[in-house]
Homo-oligomer: A and B are copies of this chain.
Amino acid sequence: MTHKVLLLPGDGIGPEIAAQAARLLKACQEAGLDIEVEEALVGGSAYDVHGEPLPAETLEKAKAASAILLGAVGGPKWDKIEDLSKRPEKGLLGLRKNLGLFGNLRPAMLYPQLASASSLKPELVAGLDIMIVRELTGGIYFGQPRGIEVRNGERVGFNTYIYSESEIERIGRVAFEMAQKRGKKLCSVDKANVLEVTILWREVMERLAPEYPDVELSHMYVDNAAMQLVRAPKQFDVVVTGNMFGDILSDAAAMLTGSIGMLPSASLNESGQGMYEPCHGSAPDIAGQNVANPLAMMLSVAMMLRYSLNEQAMAERIEAAVGSVLDDGLRTADIASEGMQTIGTDAMGDAVLAA
């Protein structure tokens, strides 16, 4: 059966790195992978053409695809759009919500070749390998009621942080299963000393724990988790948390590696359909200059092969190719260091394909 892959380049450096992913997909096809690749617009670039960050056509294609590869969305060009529902970010949030991509896997792992890129002392991050499991279609991102309105003679802004038991259970199971495949340690992050919604979160995690007796479950308050990530990140194996805390902690964790340009992510729904994207953003400041690091995007292809297309071997080949390119001393500007050769986006794509 031919798998449909939808490529959504998006904004900023998105198109440049997506171009490298497209070349990689072609190479996979040549190596026997049975896929059909389509492209569509999302984010600011979709807004510019259709007046919508998520045009109906893009959403239809996304629904029909086995997997989606997304570059990045957003940029200052669209920051002034008054109507929040038209902003580039809503293209991304709309895809997540409409496809039910509730399970966001954000690995923060340090490539040994890039150990010196971390802002932390080498001994604290050597071998770092954390998997953050973030709930992606609920919580305060989507909670109702929300808005800005006049109350008692002045404007108030409000959002609702809400989770149901079934939403918590669903992401909890993803995290427990992930921990079973990894180091068997799961840390659930909440603010149960203040927020009722996270009291329920903690309770559901506790209820699930006996079903995964091989996994050691712990709980941590989000403020402490932010501290512990800075202090001793290697204490973590799998971390599970809600949408907002996951946004903050996964970015902090990614930055611990010093090479966010290397990190892919996956967002999965209940039927295994997935969207894959780099952890980094659209970096509008360096867009169009052929300097962006395409590796997170190319590793997103590997992640897609692993989680949505069940092509482990090919995923490993890509990951190995990236490793060998780093071994060869090739670096894009974001991960440049003394004695290494700094190359552009295209050249990095070439190197990975060659490897």
Which residue in B121, B159, B194 is a CB contact (below 8 Å) of A89?
B194
B247, A230: Cβ atoms under 8 Å? no
Contact B247 A223 (CB under 8 A): yes
Question: In the assembly, what is the distance between CA of A227 and CA of B156, in Å?
Answer: 29
Closest chain B residue, CB of each to CB of A151: B164
> Is A165 in contact with chain B by the CB < 8 A criterion?
yes
Q: Produce 1/0 per residue, A75-93, CB < 8 A to B.
A: 0000000001001010001
Min CB–CB distance A285 → chain B (angstroms) = 13
CA distance A244 to B190 in the complex (A): 12
Q: Are A161 and B158 in contact (CB under 8 A)?
A: yes
A68 to chain B, nearest CB (A): 20
Q: Output the least CB separation between A243 and chain B (Å).
A: 9
Copies in the complex: 2
Chain A 223-237 interface mask (CB, 8 Å, partner B; 1/0): 110110111100000
| Chain B residues, CB < 8 A from A178 | none
Q: Does B230 lie within 8 Å of A193, measured CB to CB? A: no
**Contact present for A201 and B157 (CB under 8 Å):** yes
The stretch from A26-34, A250-258, A325-333 touching chain B is A250-258
Q: B223, A251: Cβ atoms under 8 Å?
A: yes
| Best-surrounded residue of A87, A158, A199, A256 (most CB of chain B within 10 A) | A158
Smallest CB separation, A110 vs chain B (Å): 13
A positions within 8 Å CB-CB of B: 74, 84, 87, 89, 93, 119-121, 124, 140-141, 143, 146-148, 151, 154-166, 191, 193-201, 222-224, 226-227, 229-232, 244-245, 247-252, 254-256, 258, 260
A-B CB contact pairs (8 Å), 19 listed: A87-B193, A120-B120, A141-B195, A147-B196, A154-B165, A156-B162, A156-B164, A157-B163, A157-B197, A158-B161, A159-B161, A159-B162, A191-B244, A191-B247, A222-B247, A223-B251, A226-B252, A227-B260, A230-B256
